[in-house]
Amino acid sequence: MLKFDRVTKVYKVGAFGGGSFTAVREASFEVRPGEVVSLIGESGSGKSTLGKMALRIASVSSGTITCDGTDVSTLRGHRRLKEYYRKVQGVFQDPFSSYNPVFKADRVFAMIRSEYHPGVSDAEWRDKVADALKVVRLDPDQVLGKYPHQLSGGQLQRMLLARALLLDIDYLVADEVISMLDASTRIDVLNLLADLKARGMGILFVTHDLALGNYISDQTVILHRGEIVERGVTSKVFADPRHPYTKKLFASVPQFHKKWDEVEAELRAREAADTSSQPYHLAEGQAVPSELVEVTEGHYVQPFHPRAAV
Amino acid sequence: MTLEVSDLQVYYRTLRGDVRALDGPTFGLADGEIMGLAGESGSGKSTLSKSLIRLDGRMRYIGGSVTLDGDEVPIWDDQAMNEFRYKRISLIPQYAMSAMNPTRKIGKMIAELLESRGVRFRDTRDELHRRLELVGLQRDVLDRYPLELSGGMKQRTVMVISTLLNPSLLIADEVTSALDVSTQRAVAETLVEFRDRRFVKSMIVVTHDISLVYQIADTIMVMYAGRLAEKASAKTIIEMPKHPYTKMLLDSLPEVGVKYEDKRLSGIPGSPPGLLKPPQGCRFRDRCPLADKQCLEQPPFVEVERDHHVACWKAE
């Protein structure tokens, strides 16, 4: 289990690091094996920072991230880190900048081999690569021995997923992995993530796109300005959003078959029908606590002032 | 008809030959129509919108004609196009954030822009103030540098500047793709308001996000590999598309409410053809499940129902 416990990230800003900016504040959630958790937020919400902290690209300011019981930020030394990266890997938005354009694209596989599988024979390695490529539905003849510019974005992105498979990882941080791909091919990469999930992988799916999050994830975490405003079982969060920010987000997503006005009217009507006071409604002047409140089983919301604008 | 485009061909010149990026689209845009122009990368949607403003160095006009309010638009003549640019055909660029001159205060930049078009700034100042107010900006933005504004504010400022001279045709090129969902909606609705207030007569909204244009557009035109695939009212395109490409594209898009466990969507196998030597006949042929011998011949873009145009032999 990849567990985030009250994770906070403060960046130093300004010429001499005099100022500070809190990118993530007290975020707690978990990614279990065989589960996709989508982390949804707008730009600047801290969603990528959370992913980076899990991958140790950014340090944790306070709180802990544990992977199967081990505190990630205490890992020191080449060997311990190498072990960790064998379990957790990341794939990012821009497949083109993940490759060195000077070398052939399959060098990413060769690097895995020299780092993690030095004893494997050539024939055995070839089979392993072929297997991994088969899982991501790539034809080895089409992608091996090619330079990055000769391959499409979708192919490159799938090769990065195949690379992660060669490590036999348990958790994957997928940060906006399909937003640079064309509409007609992106769904295939998304389905691929779903297949990996079925093989028992835990996936942290970072996205700004609600529809994608809803399509693939079991759990949803909604981030707003570095704080988790709502999280829980995807079907519950999507069917019955409670926090005003989540509602606003849902009302702004362009949908087919439903115009913006209709969606908004529906949300308004539901709100008008439900005027009851809730445990997550704050009294005037009360500060927003960092603990989320349970709405129904497995659905949590940050307490808010019922009449305040977002 | 505000705009009539007939058999327009614009190719990109490369060392290996011409890339047929825009190969003969023919369509019209009615007065007051907001048309969503949808397609994937390489479909020719950006080439089409650029052609109506300015051909860049690599683009070559091959043939066809463009008519705006009955006047021929000389897109092949960079000089003569000055009569149309900004005054009659205007563009909101994709990266509005970086579209403004960073070394000028916004007001000064607008004054220079207007004077270069032979319009006195003083005469338009009141209207400018009114429109800034309409999009929720204070008039003191004119005394500021672009750097001092947020992304959304810059976007709105550029929208006001682009439409200041009430052009007949406004091209909005991926104006919302760099914005967050909640800002996206505000910007998209402002576009509709500009049309309703007749700041612009008609509009082409270029996007890869069909669900967004469905919200605001009257009609949607789908392009594939440099050619038109389908054009109809937004409702018809979403609910009753006829071209196999449109159908498959819509089927591959996840919507809020669709879950992987309930309904596994699938993409379109294969990839669009290269346009250096495009295949003969229908360009979607290789990826189309319905393709047969007839498709070796280029299907015409014809009206199959009232206001519903399709380029497919198999559309019924």
pLDDT in tens, A83-96: 899 999 999 888 88
The pLDDT value given to residue A310? 60
CATH of domain B3-88+167-310: 3.40.50.300
Q: What is the mean pLDDT of residues B77-86?
A: 92
Of A8-22, A195-209, B5-19, where does mean pLDDT reach its minimum?
A8-22
Q: Is residue A183 very low, low, confident or very high in pLDDT (cuts 50, 70, 90)? A: confident
What is the torsional sign of CA B132, B133, B137, B138?
positive
Burial of B279 (0-12, 13-18, 19+ CB in 10 A): middle
Distance CA B129, CA B106 (A): 13
Q: Which of A183, A257, A259 sits opposite B40 (nearest CB)?
A: A183
Of A182-186, B56-60, B82-86, B219-223, where does mean pLDDT reach its minimum?
A182-186
Distance CA A120, CA B34 (A): 61
The pLDDT value given to residue A261? 87
Cα angle B62, B66, B71; round to 5: 135
Structure tokens at A13: 């800003």
Distance CA B176, CA B96 (A): 10
Distance CA B59, CA B62 (A): 9
Could you tell me which residue, B31 or B98, shows the higher pLDDT?
A: B31
The pLDDT value given to residue B245? 95
Q: Which residues contact B302 (CB under 8 A, 6 or more apart)?
A: B309, B310, B311
The pLDDT value given to residue B255? 81
CATH 3.40.50.300 fits A2-301, yes or no: yes
Torsion of the alpha carbons at B76, B77, B78 and B81, rounded to the nearest 10: -100
pLDDT at A189 over 90: no
DSSP code at position A147? -
Total residues belonging to chain B? 316
The pLDDT value given to residue B166? 95
Binary contact (B266, A208; C-beta < 8 A)? no
pLDDT at A181 over 80: no
Q: Which residues pair with A13 in a beta bridge?
A: A19
Cα distances (Å, whole numbers) of residue A307 to A62, A240, A243, A284: 32, 18, 11, 9
Structure tokens at A161: 């997923």
Q: Which of the residue ranges A160-169, B102-111, B269-278 has the most confident prediction, judged by mean pLDDT? A: B102-111
Instruction: Map tokens 């959630």 to a residue.
Output: A29
Q: What is the mean pLDDT of residues B183-191?
A: 89
Per-position b or e across B57-76, b if 16+ CB within 10 A of its CB: eebebbebebebeeeebebb
Query: Is any Cβ of chain A less than 8 angstroms from the Cβ of B236?
Result: no
pLDDT at B309 over 90: yes
Domain boundaries, given as residue ranges, for chain A = 2-301
Residue A235: count other Cβ atoms within 10 Å of its Cβ.
Answer: 17
The pLDDT value given to residue A280? 87
Q: Which residues contact B222 (CB under 8 A, 6 or more apart)?
A: B38, B39, B228, B229, B230, B231, B237, B243, B245, B246, B249
Distance CA B76, CA B70 (A): 18
The pLDDT value given to residue B64? 95
Q: What is the mean pLDDT of residues B56-65?
A: 91
Q: What is the mean pLDDT of residues B197-217?
A: 92
Q: Which of A35, A36, A187, A246 to mutate to test the interface with B (most CBs of B within 10 A)?
A: A187
Is residue B140 within 8 Å of B157, Cβ to Cβ? no
The pLDDT value given to residue B5? 96
pLDDT at A235 over 80: yes
Determine the residue type at A143.
V
Domain boundaries, given as residue ranges, for chain B = 3-88+167-310, 100-165
Chain A residues with beta carbon closer than 8 angstroms to that of B266:
187-188, 191
The pLDDT value given to residue A124? 92
Q: What is the mean pLDDT of residues A150-165?
A: 87
DSSP H stretches of helix in chain B: 45-51, 106-116, 121-134, 151-162, 181-196, 210-216, 234-239, 244-251
| Gap from B42 CA to chain A (nearest CA, Å) | 10
Query: Is any Cβ of chain B less than 8 angstroms from the Cβ of A190?
Result: yes
Binary contact (A214, B265; C-beta < 8 A)? no
| Crossing angle of the two packed helices B244-251 and A183-198, in degrees rounded to 10 | 40
Chains A and B form CB pairs within 8 A to the count of: 103
Residue A172 CA, chain-centre distance (Å), reads 8
**What is the ipTM for the molecules in this complex?**
0.78
The pLDDT value given to residue B218? 96
Distance CA B24, CA B64 (A): 7
The pLDDT value given to residue B274? 86
Of A243-247, B4-8, B177-181, where does mean pLDDT reach its minimum?
B177-181
Q: Is residue A309 very low, low, confident or very high in pLDDT (cuts 50, 70, 90)? A: low
pLDDT at A78 over 80: yes
DSSP H stretches of helix in chain A: 47-54, 78-87, 95-98, 107-116, 122-135, 140-143, 153-166, 183-198, 210-216, 234-239, 244-252, 260-273
The pLDDT value given to residue B227? 95
Q: What is the mean pLDDT of residues B154-179?
A: 90
The pLDDT value given to residue B262? 80
Q: What is the mean pLDDT of residues A261-284?
A: 82
Q: Which residues contact B84 (CB under 8 A, 6 or more apart)?
A: B68, B73
Distance CA A180, CA A176 (A): 8
Binary contact (A188, B267; C-beta < 8 A)? yes
The pLDDT value given to residue A178? 82
The pLDDT value given to residue B111? 94
Q: Is residue B90 very low, low, confident or very high in pLDDT (cuts 50, 70, 90)? A: very high
pLDDT at A67 over 90: yes
Query: Is any Cβ of chain B less than 8 angstroms from the Cβ of A96?
Result: no
Q: Which of A187, A214, A257 sits opposite B252 (nearest CB)?
A: A187
| Gap from B119 CA to chain A (nearest CA, Å) | 38
Q: Is residue B290 very low, low, confident or very high in pLDDT (cuts 50, 70, 90)? A: very high
Per-position b or e across A240-278, b if 16+ CB within 10 A of its CB: ebbbbbbbbbbbbbbbbebebeebbeeeeeeeeeeeeee
Q: What SS3 class is residue A179? A: coil
The pLDDT value given to residue A253? 87
Binary contact (B215, A250; C-beta < 8 A)? no
Q: Which of A183, A212, A253 sits opposite B181 (nearest CB)?
A: A253
Of A2-11, A178-187, B9-18, B274-283, where does mean pLDDT reach its minimum?
A178-187
Q: What is the mean pLDDT of residues A178-196?
A: 83
Distance CA B117, CA B86 (A): 8
Distance CA B151, CA B135 (A): 14
Query: Is any Cβ of chain B less than 8 angstroms from the Cβ of A216?
Result: yes
Q: Which residue from B174, B183, B185 is spatially nearest to B46, judged by alpha carbons?
A: B174
Q: What is the mean pLDDT of residues A282-289?
A: 84
pLDDT at B133 over 90: yes
Q: What SS3 class is residue B9? A: strand
Q: What share of chain B is helix, strand, coil (3-state, %, to 5)?
A: 35, 25, 45
